[in-house]
């Protein structure tokens, strides 16, 4: 018993001296509890809604008010020109659109069962189904002004864009591509550099004419190339097995994947400047790559449904922007000019993490 207590005391002192391990043991469980407790929310709220009211009557305005006041939809644009809805949907400014046709008020007053059109972005099949259900429920509850009796039901003609069959694969596969890319690039790069630390090679590099930064960059390039080849292979397999469409250009796709991988490799380099062992490097890689990509990128859970604090945090998650670009290219056929914001965000992220990694390498091996 005394020996067991001695070993336990020694282990406690060792953990107390290892601040990184202590941080992981104490912080990660609490972090997971908060993250899963708040981010696992399947309720859909604050759906960006564009409205095209071609009727302009009190009846049509009452329908629009019912949508806005429901708490499920946020009015982001009133459409007056042909093609404007398509532009808003392509840019993700609107995730749903309500089109009220001419003569809607007259048909409602004469109890002639008028119809409206509800257009929903089908990238996320689960969310699209929920939004269609919300719209149908709202339309059934709308009554014309001063109606003496229950009105006829308003027929909702729902149209799903980009994923007309609401196939979950078309929503999940782009997220899996982002997830695999981030994990592969970050973990392989970080473990590669830290392995050199453990074997003592980095100390030899410090004595050689070859600078540490050049050495690390040379070792990172193969991982970038292999990761890029792996991602393109995954895209090809997704097209073959899951019927993932390619409605955009391959050039835009390669550009988006490359920018994302540069940031992922930079993250791995940054991790390797902090971690001294492969175990710590692996754990840090999971913390910086696995959890944000899975939980805070919009891969599974809509960002608009998260608490405001988590929504702010998602702005520093590169997978958030990569998913917008990737889904826009393969599902919508978006041109590069409509993807300037997410691609620019990936460039900024890559520049920041590479800059931080370079500064830390220069300090450690200068």
Q: What is the pLDDT of residue 7?
A: 43
Give me the residues of the chain with pLDDT under 50, please. Answer: 7, 10-11, 33, 148
Residue 310, CB-side half-sphere exposure with 13 Å CA sphere: 22
Identify the pLDDT of residue 257.
Answer: 94
Phi-psi region of 114 (alpha: psi -120 to 50; beta: other; left: phi over 0): beta
Q: What is the 3-state secondary structure (H, E, C) of 216-271?
A: HHHHHHHHHHHHHHHHHHHHHHHHHHHCCCCCCCHHHHHHHHHHHHHHHHHHHHHH
pLDDT at site 10: 46
Burial (CB count within 10 angstroms: exposed 0-12, middle 13-18, buried 19+), residue 76: middle
Residue 291: strand, helix, or coil: helix
Of 95, 100, 116, nearest to 161 by C-alpha is 95
Instruction: List, as one string, the DSSP characters of 19-82.
Output: HHHHHHHHHHHHHHHHHHHHH-------EEEEEEESS-SHHHHHHHHHHHTTSSEEEEEE--ST
d(CA 216, CA 359): 13
Instruction: Please list the alpha-helical segments (H only) found in 69-156.
Output: 84-90, 104-109, 125-141
Cβ neighbours of residue 290 closer than 8 Å, sequence gap 6 or more: 179, 182, 183
Q: What is the pLDDT of residues 135-165, one digit of tens each?
A: 988 888 776 555 545 555 677 777 888 887 6
- Cα dihedral 134, 139, 140, 145, rounded to 10, equals 140
**Ranges of CATH 3.40.1710.10 domains, the chain:** 47-161
> What is the predicted pLDDT for the residue at 243?
85
pLDDT in tens, 289-338: 888 888 888 887 788 888 888 899 999 999 999 999 999 999 999 889 89
Cα–Cα distance, 338 to 51 (Å, whole number): 21
Q: Please tell me the distance from the alpha carbon of residue 84 to that of residue 107, in angstroms, as a whole number.
A: 26
Please report the pLDDT score of residue 282 as a whole number. Answer: 85
For residues 256 and 334, the answer to whether their CB atoms sit within 8 Å is no
Residue 98: enclosing H or E segment and its boundaries? strand 96-100
| Helix %, strand %, coil % of the chain (to 5) | 70, 10, 25
| Prediction pTM value | 0.74
Look at the domain 47-161 and name its fold: abc type-2 transporter like fold (3.40.1710)
- The pLDDT value recorded for residue 341 is 94
263-293 per-residue burial string, b: 16 or more CB within 10 A, e: under 16: bbbbbbbbbbbebeebebbbbbbebbbebbb
Q: Are 61 and 105 in contact (CB under 8 A)?
A: no
pLDDT number for residue 253: 94
Q: Which of 305, 86, 124 is nearest to 132 (CA)?
A: 124
How high is the pLDDT of residue 361?
A: 78
Nearest CA-CA partner of 175 in 238, 267, 226, 114: 238
Cα distance between residue 69 and residue 63, in whole Å: 10
Question: What's 165's DSSP letter?
Answer: T
């Amino acid at each position: 018993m005394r020996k067991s207590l001695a070993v336990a005391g020694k282990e406690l002192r060792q953990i107390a001296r290892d601040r990184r391990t202590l941080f992981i043991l104490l912080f990660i469980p609490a972090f997971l509890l908060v993250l899963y407790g708040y981010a696992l929310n399947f309720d859909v709220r604050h759906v960006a809604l564009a409205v095209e009211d071609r009727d302009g009557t009190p009846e049509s305005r009452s329908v629009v008010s019912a949508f806005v006041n429901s708490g499920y939809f946020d009015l982001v644009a009133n459409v007056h020109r042909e093609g404007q809805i398509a532009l808003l949907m392509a840019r993700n400014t609107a995730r749903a659109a309500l089109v009220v046709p001419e003569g809607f008020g007259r048909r409602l007053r004469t109890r002639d069962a008028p119809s409206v059109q509800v257009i929903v972005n089908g990238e996320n099949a689960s969310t699209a189904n929920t939004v269609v259900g919300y719209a149908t429920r709202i339309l059934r509850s709308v009554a014309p002004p001063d109606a003496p009796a229950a009105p006829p039901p308003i027929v909702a003609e729902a149209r799903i864009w980009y994923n007309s069959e609401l196939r979950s694969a078309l929503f999940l596969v782009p997220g899996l591509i982002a997830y695999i890319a981030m994990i592969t690039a970050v973990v392989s790069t970080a473990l590669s550099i830290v392995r050199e630390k453990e074997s003592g090679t980095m100390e030899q590099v410090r004595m050689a004419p070859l600078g540490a930064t050049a050495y690390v960059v040379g070792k990172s390039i193969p991982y970038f190339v292999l990761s890029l080849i792996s991602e393109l292979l995954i895209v090809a397999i997704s097209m073959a097995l899951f019927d993932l469409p390619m409605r955009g250009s391959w050039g835009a796709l390669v550009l988006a994947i490359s920018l994302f991988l540069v940031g992922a490799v930079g993250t791995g380099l940054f991790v390797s400047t902090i971690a001294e062992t492969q175990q710590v490097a692996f754990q840090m890689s999971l913390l910086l790559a696995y959890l944000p990509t899975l939980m805070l990128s919009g891969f599974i859970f809509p960002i608009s449904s998260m608490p405001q604090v988590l929504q702010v945090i998602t702005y520093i998650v590169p997978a958030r922007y990569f998913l917008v670009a990737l889904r826009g290219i393969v599902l919508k056929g978006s041109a590069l000019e409509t993807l300037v914001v997410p691609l620019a965000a990936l460039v900024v992220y890559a520049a920041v993490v590479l800059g931080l990694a370079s500064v830390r390498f220069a300090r450690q091996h200068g």
